[in-house]
Structures are given as C-alpha cells and as structure tokens.
C-alpha cells in the first residue's frame, strides 16, 4: 500500500523495551511531522529517555519500528548520524576544553554545518568563547550542549530534558533559543517533566506514564479533553466543608482534597466561584485561601493518572 | 587536516593532558626524581680514604706517602682519645726500642685496613724494597653499575604506567560523564576515538622515554650501545601493547575506583616480578617462564639488552614476540568487550 504524502520526520510503531524486569517502553506509537516541535511529557521514569534514545540509535528496542527521516538505524546508521542533532540528558563535556575547542571538535565529526563561531553566536555564548567548559554555569553548559547538537546542521533535533536542573532565568533563556529554532523551521523532539515547558514550546505533546502514551495532541486539545477549563482551589482552615454539597453545584466536574486544600475542576469560572462562596457561607465555613487557574497539562496528567507530574 | 576528527580528538587528548598539572608531574618529573634518588643512593663511591693519626712528625711524614690515608699529627693523649671515639681508625706511635706501635680496633675492618696500609707505608719509608712490582689496572666501566641496570627498568615502567593509566582513566572518566556516549552519538567512526589514544601516546612517547633516557645518559653516563632504531621500535611496540592493555582494562568499568583497582592489580605484580629494581633472576626457576611472558619483563629485558649489551633487532625478537602477542590479544579482547556507554 503506498504511503500517504506525509512529511513524517519520525515514525514510531509499537515500540517496546524491557530492562531486566522493568518495562521501560510498553508499545508506543509516535508521528512527528517535519517542522514541528513535539514534546514527550511525563514524570521521571515514564520511559521518555529510553524512547528518545531508541530514536537516536543509542539504545536498541526489543521490538517495534522506528523510521527517522525516512531511514532506519539498521541499514542507514551513518547517514542518519549526519542528519541528527542530539543533546543527551546529563552529559558533561570535557571540562578542560574551551567552548570554542569543544565546538571545533564536534564540528569535525560532521560533513557540513555551521562553523564553531557561528554555533557560539547562535547560542549566545560569545563572551564565553575562550572559557573552559568546567567554569560555565549550568545554563551556559546546556547552551553549549545545544550548540554541539547544532554544528551538523541537523534535520531533526533531539533534546532530552534540556532545562532540567536550571534556574528559572536560565530556563527562560533556553526556551527563547528553542523558540528561535522552531521559528527557523527545525523539527524538534524534546522530553520534559515541566508542563510549562511543554505548553510553551511544543505544538503537540504526548503524555507518557509507565512506558505508555496515555494522551496525545496539542496542549489545547489535551486540556479540552478533560472537559475542564479551570481549577478552583480553596482552604478552610480547620473547618471541614461538606464536599458532597460543593460537588453538587452547577459546573463542578470533580472535587477532591489535597494537602488540606480542596480542588474543584470547573467549566465556568464566573458561575462556579460565586456559587462556591454562597455554598460555603451556607455551610458556615470560613475561607482562608482561594485561588483559581486555567487548566494546564498538569491537570490533564492528574486527571488521567491521579498523580502529579513531579510526584517524588 | 585540522578538520579531521582524529586530529581534533588527539588535540583534545593533548589539551586535557597539558592542562592537568598533576599528570605532567607524575609522568615526567617523578621518574627523574626516582632515578636521581636511587642513582645517588647506589652510586659507586671513589675508594675510601682512611683517617689515621701519628704522634711524631717523622711517622706522619712516612704515613703521608700512602695516598689512601688521611694523616693528622696529634699529641699522644688526644690521639688516643680520637681512636677510642672512632674519629681516626688508627694511631701510630714510636716505641722506646725503635719499633712502631699501632693502636686500633681489630674488630673494625677500617682499623685492620688502616693497619695494613700504615705498616706498608712506614716499612717503605724505612727503605723496604718490594721483591715484585705490582701494577694496578682499574676496572670501573659504565654498564655494570646499578644505575645502568636501573634506568632501562624505569623507562619500561614509565611506558607501562603512562600507557595504562593515561587512556584507561580518560576512557572511564568519559564513560562516567556520558561524554563517550555523546561522542558516539555523532557520525564520527568509533575507532577514531580509540585511535586518538594510541596516537597521543605515540606523540608523548619521545618525552616518556626521552626524559629518563637523557637524564641517565647526561647525568650518569649510561651507555647506549645498541642501535637507536631498535630501541625506538621496542618502545613503540611496548606503548602499543600496554595501551591495548589499558583499553582492555577500561573496556567495561564505570568507576574510577574499579579502574584503579584493575590497573593496580595488573601493574603491581609486574613492578615486583619484571626486574625494574632488581634482577628477576632472583625469583625461583619454577616461575621464570611466567616472568618471561610478562610484557614488562619483555620490555625491560629488551631495553637492557639494547642499551647495555648492544642488542639489535634480531636479539630482541623473543621480547618483541611477547609484546606482539600481548598487543593482539588485549586489543582484540578490548574491541570485543568495549562498552560505548
């Protein structure tokens, strides 16, 4: 059967990988289109890194099919390596080399691509050009790792937890860079356990848990799929509100307690909040805290698994 | 050429090496310090001059004819005190009947030797003629001293240490930091990565060998009797064989501690058995075949043969064969076992 005219940069079918007795990847399917930024979102241990490393040709799958840029690892490994830009989780580059020397080294591994100076400019490390890698901050090291992934002018960029462990400012700086790559039309697959990161950077997201993709779509679609637009959270001090009464209010989809707070998933904020205040007044419950936010991918994950993305 | 991955990788080895002062110290300064220390400790001293005393000017004059005696003239009481405290080995005094009295401790070899030399000098000064003339021919040849034995041993030990530690640690460190995994994720052919270690060792080899060799030649006058080509060839072969050993040791381990243990386990027995500091002939005949099969024994035997006895390619063939076997076996195993992540 002829393939339909899609520009799939990465196609994964029924991928499985087991380590000893742990099932790391349990039959996942992914389609990443050329020019999109696709996110694998999930908690630690969900199988994101195993999945991305199989796609990078660093880990062999037990079964399943991986097609990268129309090529396969078994038959086209050396051609594929020239076309991919890879940033691994927690790589420490040689500490005694300078930024420029590191990029010169990585550039020598590729047939074509921007020079070391250009790569330095792209990731805005000009001031650190001659600084030793060992002396860079966490954010600068991540930007250098990103530059190492770019020196081959890749058709597909793999970023495994690019901002994990960075402070908020360094994270935002990295996001700006990734947004520039997106704007330049690069295809990106990134993994993250930060829902803000996935929401901000990714056109489409696959949520992973326990080796499976439990939801897939644009962040907007995923949030809409749980049928909830807003979350209302309140605390009542030591008083115990009647949750059944609150749950019965119009527009409330779900009520649960968490760390002494009550969380309501609601569809219409402008009706739910006044209704809640009336109901609490009727029950004689004092309100010590009240917060609302629009539903996020975090709420999607909680809705699907009953757990938070960053549960330890 | 400067864009070639092998060039850039070797450049990385060089930069990592020269930017690590400790590495520089241990591989360059340490062998020299060791050779200097041992050379001084075991140097061949000039013939010793014995201190003796005489109580009269005439006796002193007679004793001074003997070059191996250092003569002081002292009043009798002081002279006796000196010999008791060991400041002089012997005192010569005239006796009333015209004879000479020697006071010395006959349990002390220096005293007995001083007695012989002093008596001989006094007899000759009094007109004794020796019936047969004796002529000395001094044999103090370079090549048979301890330092001559030691320098080839230290060179061999240096090649082994540098070739095993250098690549071994870099590899384990790169694996631990996932740098190796990152480099393998590029299109660079993997064997370049391993080749860069061998290439870098080859570049360092003239320094590894040259520093202790030059030190031995210029400071201690160590002979270089064999062909320089054969010496260079055996050093290259040894570096390749030990580097292959280093790659094998580092092929799987993930921690510096484990690598350290394995490296010590493989090197310490050779430091002891292979005759770096003393001849391996001292070990029982039963273990000699095993000792001869060790790569360090082969290098050191070949180096001593070349430098001290002038052995050429043909005489070093057995040692070269031993090193060749180690090279092929270790490199083959390393390629099979090597874990790239």
- Which residues in A lie closer than 8 A to residue B15 (C-beta atoms)? 96-97, 101
Contacts of A151 (CB under 8 A, 6+ apart): A103, A106, A107, A110, A113, A114, A115, A116, A119
Q: Which residues pair with A291 in a beta bridge?
A: A233
Q: CA of A197, closest CA in chain B: separation in Å? A: 24
What is the pLDDT at residue B290?
93
Q: Are B182 and B93 members of one domain?
A: no
Question: Contact, A157 vs A185, CB < 8 A?
Answer: no
- What is the rounded average pLDDT of the residues A223-238? 85
| Chain segment A49-102, per-residue pLDDT in tens | 999 999 999 999 999 999 999 999 999 998 999 999 999 988 889 999 999 999
How is residue B190 written in tokens?
Answer: 């993997």
Q: Are B231 and B88 members of one domain?
A: no
Q: Are B62 and B175 members of one domain?
A: no
**Is A96 near chain B, with CB under 8 Å?**
yes
Q: Cα separation of B55 and B82, whole Å?
A: 12
Instruction: Work out how many CB contacts closer than 8 A connect A with B.
Output: 69
Q: Are B267 and B330 members of one domain?
A: yes
Question: Contact, B235 vs B210, CB < 8 A?
Answer: no
| C-beta atoms of A58 and B8 within 8 A | no
How is residue B147 written in tokens?
Answer: 């330092």
The residue in chain B having the minimum alpha-carbon distance to the alpha carbon of residue A81 is B187
Q: Which of B125, B151, B177 is the last residue of a domain?
A: B125
CATH of the domain at B114: 3.40.190.10
- Which residues in B lie closer than 8 A to residue A92 (C-beta atoms)? 177-179
Nearest-by-Cβ selection for A58 from B12, B187, B341 = B341
Confidence check: pLDDT of A113 > 60: yes
- Which residues in B lie closer than 8 A to residue A115 (C-beta atoms)? none
Element spanning A290, H or E: strand A289-294
Q: Which of B60, B95, B125 is the last residue of a domain?
A: B125
- What is the rounded average pLDDT of the residues B319-327? 96
What is the pLDDT at residue B312?
86
Asked whether residue B138 is domain-assigned, the answer is no
B287: DSSP letter: G
Q: What domain range is B83 assigned to?
A: 50-125
Could you report the predicted ipTM of this complex, rounded to two decimals? Answer: 0.82
- What is the rounded average pLDDT of the residues A154-159? 94
Q: Are B113 and B149 members of one domain?
A: no
Burial of A253 (0-12, 13-18, 19+ CB in 10 A): middle
Nearest-by-Cβ selection for A56 from B12, B183, B185 = B185
Q: Cα separation of B124 and B131, whole Å?
A: 12
Q: Are B176 and B293 members of one domain?
A: yes
Contacts of B131 (CB under 8 A, 6+ apart): none
Q: Which residues pair with A233 in a beta bridge?
A: A263, A291
Asked whether residue B134 is domain-assigned, the answer is no
Q: CA of A69, closest CA in chain B: separation in Å? A: 16
| Chain segment B95-106, per-residue pLDDT in tens | 888 889 999 988
Instruction: Answer with the residue of higher pLDDT: A237 or B286.
Output: B286
| C-beta atoms of A92 and B177 within 8 A | yes
Asked whether residue B302 is domain-assigned, the answer is yes
Q: Are B173 and B322 members of one domain?
A: yes
Q: CA of A93, closest CA in chain B: separation in Å? A: 6
- Could you tell me if residue B181 is left (phi over 0), alpha (psi between -120 and 50 degrees) or otherwise beta? alpha
SS3 track for B141-185: CCCCCHHHHHHHHHHHHHHHHHHHHHHHHHHHHHHHCCHHHHHHC
| Chain segment A251-268, per-residue pLDDT in tens | 888 888 888 888 888 888
| C-beta atoms of B187 and A109 within 8 A | yes
Q: Which of B98, B125, B152 is the last residue of a domain?
A: B125
| C-beta atoms of A108 and B12 within 8 A | no
Burial of B289 (0-12, 13-18, 19+ CB in 10 A): exposed
| C-beta atoms of B15 and A152 within 8 A | no
Asked whether residue B285 is domain-assigned, the answer is yes
Confidence check: pLDDT of A5 > 50: no
- Which residues in B lie closer than 8 A to residue A81 (C-beta atoms)? 185-187
| C-beta atoms of B186 and A78 within 8 A | no
Q: Cα separation of A206 and A192, whole Å?
A: 11
Choose the weakest-confidence range: A93-97, A154-158, B38-42, B93-97.
Answer: B38-42
Asked whether residue B169 is domain-assigned, the answer is yes
**Is A90 near chain B, with CB under 8 Å?**
yes
**Is A108 near chain B, with CB under 8 Å?**
yes
**Is A112 near chain B, with CB under 8 Å?**
no
Nearest-by-Cβ selection for A108 from B4, B178, B179 = B4
Provide the pLDDT confidence category of residue B5 given band limits of 50, 70 and 90: very high
| Chain segment A15-32, per-residue pLDDT in tens | 999 998 889 999 999 999
A98: DSSP letter: B
Q: Are B158 and B81 members of one domain?
A: no
* Total number of domains in chain B: 2
| C-beta atoms of B181 and A91 within 8 A | yes
Q: Are B113 and B172 members of one domain?
A: no
What pTM does this model have? 0.78
What is the pLDDT at residue B142?
66
Long-range pairs, B301-305, Cβ under 8 A, ≥24: B301/B275, B302/B234, B303/B152, B303/B153, B303/B155, B303/B156, B303/B231, B303/B234, B303/B235, B304/B149, B304/B152, B304/B153, B305/B226
**Is A254 near chain B, with CB under 8 Å?**
no
Question: Contact, A262 vs A236, CB < 8 A?
Answer: yes
Asked whether residue B3 is domain-assigned, the answer is no
Confidence check: pLDDT of A132 > 50: yes
**Is A277 near chain B, with CB under 8 Å?**
no
**Is A74 near chain B, with CB under 8 Å?**
no
Q: Cα separation of A124 and A101, whole Å?
A: 16
Q: Are B206 and B158 members of one domain?
A: yes
Q: Are B72 and B117 members of one domain?
A: yes
How is residue B42 written in tokens?
Answer: 């075991």
- What is the rounded average pLDDT of the residues B40-53? 74
Asked whether residue B56 is domain-assigned, the answer is yes
Asked whether residue B253 is domain-assigned, the answer is yes
Q: Are B71 and B101 members of one domain?
A: yes
| C-beta atoms of B187 and A152 within 8 A | yes
What is the pLDDT at residue B140?
62
């Amino acid at each position: 059967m002829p393939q339909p005219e899609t520009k799939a940069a990465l196609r994964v079918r029924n991928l499985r990988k087991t380590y000893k007795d742990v099932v790391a990847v349990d039959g996942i399917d992914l389609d990443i289109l050329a020019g999109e930024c696709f996110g694998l979102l999930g908690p630690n241990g969900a199988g994101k890194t195993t999945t991305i490393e199989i796609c990078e040709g660093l880990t062999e799958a037990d079964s399943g099919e991986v097609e990268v840029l129309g090529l396969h690892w078994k038959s086209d490994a050396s051609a594929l390596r020239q076309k991919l830009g890879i940033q691994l989780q927690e790589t420490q580059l040689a500490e005694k080399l300078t930024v420029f020397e590191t990029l010169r080294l990585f550039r020598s591994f590729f047939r074509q691509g921007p020079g070391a100076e250009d790569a330095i400019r792209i990731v805005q490390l000009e001031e650190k050009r001659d600084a030793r890698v060992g002396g860079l901050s966490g954010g600068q090291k991540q930007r250098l790792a990103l530059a190492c992934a770019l020196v081959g002018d890749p058709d597909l960029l793999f970023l495994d937890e690019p901002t994990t462990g960075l402070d908020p400012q360094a994270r935002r700086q990295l996001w700006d860079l990734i947004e520039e790559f997106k704007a330049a039309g690069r295809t990106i697959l990134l993994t993250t356990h930060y829902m803000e990161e996935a929401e901000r950077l990714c056109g489409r997201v696959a949520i992973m848990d326990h080796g499976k993709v439990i939801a897939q779509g644009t962040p907007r679609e995923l949030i809409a799929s749980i049928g909830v637009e807003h979350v209302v959270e309140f605390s009542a001090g030591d008083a115990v509100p009647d949750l059944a009464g609150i749950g019965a209010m119009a527009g409330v989809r779900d009520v649960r307690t968490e760390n002494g707070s009550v969380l309501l998933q609601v569809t219409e904020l402008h009706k739910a909040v006044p209704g809640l205040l009336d109901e609490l007044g009727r029950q004689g419950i004092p309100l010590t805290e009240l917060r609302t936010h629009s539903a996020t991918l975090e709420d999607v994950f909680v809705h699907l698994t009953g757990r938070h993305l960053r549960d330890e | 050429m400067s864009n070639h991955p092998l060039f850039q990788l070797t450049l990385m080895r060089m930069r990592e090496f020269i930017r690590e002062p400790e590495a520089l110290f241990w591989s360059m300064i340490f062998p020299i310090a060791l050779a200097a220390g041992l050379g001084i400790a075991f140097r061949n001293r000039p013939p010793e001059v014995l201190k003796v005393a005489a109580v009269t000017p005439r006796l002193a004059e007679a004793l001074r004819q003997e070059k191996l005696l250092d003569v002081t003239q002292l009043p009798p009481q002081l002279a006796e005190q000196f010999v008791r405290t060991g400041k002089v080995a012997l005192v010569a005094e005239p006796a009333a009947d015209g004879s000479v009295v020697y006071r010395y401790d006959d349990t002390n070899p220096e005293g007995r030797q001083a007695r012989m030399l002093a008596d001989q000098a006094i007899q000759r000064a009094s007109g004794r003629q020796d019936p047969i003339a004796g002529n000395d021919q001094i044999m103090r040849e370079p090549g048979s001293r301890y330092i001559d034995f030691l320098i080839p041993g230290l060179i061999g030990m240096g090649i082994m240490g540098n070739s095993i530690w250098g690549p071994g640690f870099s590899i384990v460190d790169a694996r631990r930091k996932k740098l190796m995994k990152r480099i393998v994720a590029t299109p660079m052919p993997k064997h370049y990565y391993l080749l860069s270690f061998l290439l870098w060792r080859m570049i360092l080899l003239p320094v590894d060998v040259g520093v202790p060799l030059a030190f031995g030649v210029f400071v201690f006058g160590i002979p270089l009797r064999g062909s320089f080509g054969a010496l260079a060839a055996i050093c290259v072969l040894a570096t390749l064989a030990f580097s292959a050993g280093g790659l094998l040791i580092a092929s799987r381990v993930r921690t510096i501690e484990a690598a350290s243990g394995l490296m010590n386990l493989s090197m310490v027995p050779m430091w002891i058995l292979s005759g770096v500091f003393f001849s391996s002939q001292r070990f029982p005949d039963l273990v000699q075949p095993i000792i001869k099969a060790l790569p360090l024994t082969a290098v050191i035997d070949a180096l001593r043969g070349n430098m001290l006895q002038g052995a050429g390619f043909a005489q070093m063939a057995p040692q070269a064969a031993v090193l060749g076997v180690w090279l092929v076996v270790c490199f083959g195993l390393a390629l099979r076992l090597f874990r790239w992540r």
